[in-house]
Amino acid sequence: MERERKFLVDRLPDDLGPAVAIRQGYLALDGNVQVRVRRADNECTLTVKGGRGRDRTEVETTITVEQFDDLWPLTEGRRIEKARHRVPLVDGLTAEVDLYAAAHAGLQVVEVEFPENADPDAFVPLPWFGRDVTDDARYSNADLATAGESPH
């Protein structure tokens, strides 16, 4: 189970730290079920997600770079590129700041994932967090991957 909240970024924090380049493409999109491949530097995964919003089913498995390269062409027309920065927060949480590229250049989003026993609604966003878009499907990576332009 994945529990998260997603926000637009009003202003980037000073302590972003290094970025990880991410290429992500969708093999299948069927309603609220998604199958994607992701390459983050040299770490590759195949992920199945079900549901939308705060609580979602997520099953992820590691794949080889060769497997990613074999599957990548099947994602044409359903891709995103972004740089991800991880910013440590209180209580062991991490803010994942995504700076999108290509068709979504300029879009800046921050996600915070929560343990299963935590209440995501109890989280108080930091001053640099912007509008909460957790339940706005236009900001899901799957929707962004198929949209011609960003909703911002």
Catalytic residue list: 26
Tokens of 68: 């990613």
Q: Find how far residue 40's CA is from the centre of its chain.
A: 12
User: Quick one: how far is CA 139 from the chain centroid?
Assistant: 9
CA dihedral 32, 34, 40, 45 (to 10 degrees): 130
CB atoms within 10 A of CB 84: 15
Cβ neighbours of 39 (radius 10 Å):
18
E strand or H helix at 143: helix 141-146
Q: How far is CA 152 from the centre of its chain?
A: 16
- CA 1 from chain centre, in angstroms, equals 15
